[in-house]
Amino acid sequence: MAFTGDEGEMVSLEDASKWTSNYRNSEYFDGVNAIFYGINNLNSVLNQRFCQGIRIYKAIDDDGNPIMVLVGADENGNDMTDGLILERGFGCPPYCDGNGSLLMG
């Protein structure tokens, strides 16, 4: 299957809130609600030649903290590991949405 750049789908706030709540109330919740990445770094990954999207890996850093590792993927679904790899985002908590729409569900 070739990636086109249209993979994934938009979901409602109602579903997203329910799903984030399900996670927070599950045995898998690790205390991290979300991680923020800036537009410039995301665009740097996305704007690489042949990039069709971003694959996000769950990971644990050297200090034992849950993190996400973001890497571009090409049209064949191959990770672009010879390109840019993004991490060091800002975790929530403490950097959370003041409105909390996805934290209140």
Assigned domain for 86 exists:
yes
Do the beta carbons of residue 37 and residue 70 sit within 8 Å?
yes
Q: Quote the DSSP letter at residue 102.
A: T
Query: Would 72 be classed as within a structural domain?
Result: yes
The predicted model gives 3-19 an average pLDDT of 92
Domain count, the chain: 1
15 within domain boundaries: no
- Nearest-angstrom CA–CA distance, 72 and 51: 6
pLDDT at 76 over 70: yes
Is 13 within a domain? Answer: no
- Write the pLDDT tens digit of every residue in 55-70: 999 999 999 888 999 9
Range of the domain at 49: 33-105
Instruction: Round to whole Å and give the CA distance between 105 and 102.
Output: 6
Q: How many CB atoms lie under 10 A from the CB of residue 72?
A: 25
* 18 part of a folded domain: no
* Cβ count within 10 A of residue 53: 18
Residue 47 has pLDDT above 80, yes or no: yes
Any domain includes 73: yes
